[in-house]
Amino acid sequence: MRNAEEARARADDVDWARADRYVFDIIPESAGPRKTTLRGSVIHSIRSPGSQTFLAREHAVAIVLSPASKLRASLGSDRITEYDAPLGSIIVNPAAVDSSLAWTETRKNLVVAIPPETLSELALQELDLANVELRPPAFGTIDLRALDIAQRISAELTGKATPNELYLDSLVTLFGVHLLRTYASRMRQIPSSRGGLSAKSARRVEEYLRENFTQKIHVAELAAVAGISPNHFILRFAKTFGMPPHRYLINLRLDFAEKLLIDGEIAIAEIAYMAGFSDQSHLATTMKRYRGKTPTELRFTR
């Protein structure tokens, strides 16, 4: 079986392999509150006049929360377009597509970033669809449904209480489904006759996951282990294991965390770290969502 170093080396060749929150690097900390959830990242952004140029590594979507005029933007080309952005305008920047933007007045946006593999899994899990590719609308397009979700996310991020990760993740999921239904092209239903992984590939992938589930694992790594294209891997994995890779990984982490919680000898914060979660809150949110109990409830009700 290929080891972790070999798989990660091969994954480096895939543009969308990186699943960490690259959008946080693009938008400065001073712009506003932000939160990472299971499905993606959200930022309530208020920025002074300026400009930016970047190559998106995630699907980055901005919804205009206050009107802006004379924006100068390009997406996937060198051609600059000047336009006004009314309240509710949406800018869809697909992963691996370069863009530029310049603005001459303070602008207020809600930004949602979703890793490509996460959107693909969402298309598979929620809509039973494959081969998803986002199709950006024209600059200045108003999307009232996206605005409604964005305003709810913004209210949660800017409220007095600590943002609830589970609630935000539900909104990110809702937003992702809206993206798929409204701005995705080349979507087709998965053929019922489509095969899964071979027995040999399935065994290799399962072993790899069980050996590395506490680490950050990219879809491209698993595809390399299986010896198939990343574009086909998610579908074939789900056909074999009955769920997308991300959900399978979460189950492994939760199973491990539950065993440690029941033993009762290690602090919950330490268990979260040992099981591969970013912190105790991340573990609690995930366990509540998928197992119906928080770590504290599990520990003290058994």
Q: How many CB atoms lie within 10 A of CB 99?
A: 19
Measured distance CA(41)–CA(24) in Å, rounded: 8
Tens place of pLDDT per residue across the chain (302 aa): 444 454 444 433 333 333 344 566 788 889 999 998 888 899 999 999 999 887 777 899 999 999 999 999 998 876 899 999 999 999 999 988 888 999 999 999 999 999 887 888 788 766 666 667 889 999 999 999 999 999 999 999 999 999 988 899 899 999 999 999 999 875 555 454 357 888 889 999 999 999 999 888 877 788 889 988 776 788 888 889 988 888 899 999 999 999 999 888 899 999 999 998 888 888 888 888 888 888 988 887 65
pLDDT of residue 130: 60
pTM score, two decimals? Answer: 0.66
pLDDT of residue 15: 32
Q: How many CB atoms lie within 10 A of CB 158?
A: 12
Residue closest to 299 by CA, chosen among 280, 108, 214, 229: 280
Widest CA span of the chain, in angstroms? 63
Measured distance CA(12)–CA(221) in Å, rounded: 9
Domain map of the chain by residue range? Answer: 4-13+195-300, 18-188
Measured distance CA(23)–CA(57) in Å, rounded: 8
pLDDT of residue 131: 62
Residues 6+ apart with CB under 8 A from 270: none
Residue closest to 217 by CA, chosen among 187, 240, 194, 237: 237
Q: How many CB atoms lie within 10 A of CB 301?
A: 7
Just give the CATH number of 4-13+195-300.
Answer: 1.10.10.60
Measured distance CA(60)–CA(178) in Å, rounded: 14
Q: Residue 92: beta bridge partners? A: 61
Task: Give a three-class secondary structure readout of the chain.
Answer: CCCHHHHHHHHCCCHHHCCCCCHHHHCCHHHCCEEECCCCEEEEEEECCEEEEEECCCEEEEEECCCEEEEEEEECCCCCEEEEECCCEEEEECCCCEEEEEECCCEEEEEEEECHHHHHHHHHHHHCEECCEECCCCCCCECHHHHHHHHHHHHHHHCCCCCCHHHHHHHHHHHHHHHHHHHEECCEECCCCCCCCCHHHHHHHHHHHHHHCCCCCCHHHHHHHHCCCHHHHHHHHHHHHCCCHHHHHHHHHHHHHHHHHHHCCCCHHHHHHHCCCCCHHHHHHHHHHHHCCCHHHHHHCC
pLDDT of residue 288: 87
Backbone phi, then psi, for 92, in 5-degree steps?
Answer: -105, 115
pLDDT of residue 129: 64
- Let me know: does 127 contact 121? Beta carbons within 8 Å: no
pLDDT of residue 10: 40
pLDDT of residue 146: 97
Q: Which two tokens stand for residue 129?
A: 């669809």
If you classify domain 18-188 with CATH, what class do you get?
mainly beta
